[in-house]
Amino acid sequence: MVTPTELSISVIIPVHNGGESFRQCLSSLTESTISTDELIVVSDADTDGSWLVAQEFGAKVIRMPVNGGPAKARNLGASVATSDILYFIDADVVISPSAIAQVKKAFENKSELAALIGSYDDEPGETNFLSQYKNLFHHYNHQIASEEAFTFWGACGAIRREVFLSLGGFDENYRRPSIEDIELGYRIRLAGYQIKLFKDLHVKHLKHWSFVSLLKAEIFYRALPWTELILRQRQLDNDLNLGVSSRLSVILVYGILTSLILGFWWSGFFAVAAVLSLIMLWLNFAVYHFFYAKRGLGFALRVIPWHWFYYFYGGLAFAVGTSNYLWHESFLSKLDISTT
């Protein structure tokens, strides 16, 4: 029997004004069943003293004089890390006591494993409806996803150091928390490496979502750049938020909306909208049953309009993103012709 080679782990956390959530994040590391070999905190030009909090917990602190975004901060942390495995977590998550041990065991037992990701747990830190809905929905999507992952995840993702460095790390063109981890995941897979989703590797998200912050992040920092990435990479995987049921749901939502508008000219379209709504409910029954099981009937009923709204603005962002991408490609093509 071959004994697995013992690997070392560096935990890397980018932080910009982490507040109390960051302190809770660091506290959770002290409750780990095994200690990390190296804790690196990259202060992304914070102004609230987060770097001082990191020093209190014995972290190796790197301070960036100018805000450069989490991609650059993670890369900087990785550049000084000395361990075999780089375990990235966000400053607003709390890891489970067994998380580091799970990561360590996974890489030691699977020599072919290049990277892994975990999942949010089903007990989000913030209690308001949108925070509960958003983070539980994220948990649900990871729990039903394929274990053969095609994306990376900066909130709870680990990767072999040599693989990370060979690929050039995160794309620093993403200056805000965006899809820099998804883009890295695409490159990991394109290079022929394996990424695994460990559904029982949990972190608790402490972020407070409001109407404005949720839409801003979902549309401008995720949907639009993700659309551009999908078109550029020509890679529309049937998993996570890109599954067939999600694509059909976008079509159904716009069909319902169109039917309701046309119903003011011919009432028969209201019946069409009703039928499409029933199909939409049936198609997403598993989602609503999940919320019912976790938070009860009242919560599940509140989820439905938000879930449909999610497909509305997601579909709109995809259309806008596609138009922008095609216009940009057309412009570059004309520019090439004019210069030859």
Helix or strand (DSSP H, E) at 294: helix 285-295
Give the residue from 161, 186, 209 where a domain finishes.
209
Pairing mode, strands 194-205 and 113-120? parallel
pLDDT tens digits, one per residue of 210-257:
999 999 999 999 988 888 888 877 665 644 556 688 889 999 999 999
Residues 197, 263, single domain; the answer is no
Residue 153 resides in a domain: yes
Tell me, what's the pLDDT at 233?
72
182 and 246, same structural domain?
no
Nearest CA-CA partner of 178 in 138, 109, 225, 231:
225
pTM for the whole structure: 0.91
Average pLDDT, integer, range 282-307: 97
For residue 244, give the nearest of 144, 107, 96 by alpha carbon: 144
Backbone angles phi, psi at 182, to 5 degrees: -65, -45
Question: What is the domain extent for residue 116?
Answer: 9-209
Specify if 287 maps to a domain.
yes
Query: Within this chain, do residues 154 and 41 fall inside the same structural domain, yes or no?
Result: yes
The tens digit of pLDDT for each residue in 117-144 reads 999 999 999 999 999 999 999 999 999 9
Res 307 pLDDT > 80: yes
Residue ending a domain, among 153, 187, 209, is 209
Q: Tokens 């949010």 appear where?
A: 120
Q: Do 64 and 186 lie in a common domain?
A: yes
Do 256 and 315 lie in one domain? The reply is: yes
**85/170 same-domain check:** yes
Residue 232 lies in a domain: no
The alpha carbon torsion through 306, 94, 293, 116 (nearest 10 deg) reads: 90
Q: Does residue 85 sit in the same domain as residue 198?
A: yes
* C-alpha–C-alpha distance, residues 264 and 276, integer Å: 17
* Residue 197 shares a structural domain with residue 266: no
| Domain end marker among 193, 209, 225 | 209
Contact 70, 44 (CB under 8 A): yes
- Counts for the chain of helices (H) and strands (E), in that order: 13, 8
Q: Are residues 248 and 129 part of one domain? A: no
Mean per-residue pLDDT, 45-62 = 96
Which tokens is 217 given? 């992040």
Q: How many domains does the chain have?
A: 2
Indicate whether 2 belongs to any domain: no
pLDDT category at 335 given cuts 50, 70, 90 is low
Q: Would you state the pLDDT for residue 245?
A: 84
Dihedral sign (CA 202, 204, 207, 210): positive
CATH number, residue 37: 3.90.550.10
CA 109 from centre of chain: 26
Among 132, 16, 124, which residue's Cα sits nearest to residue 70? 16
Residue 49 inside a domain? The answer is yes
**Tens of pLDDT, residues 2-33:** 456 899 999 999 999 999 999 999 999 999 99
Q: Give mean pLDDT, residues 276-299.
A: 97
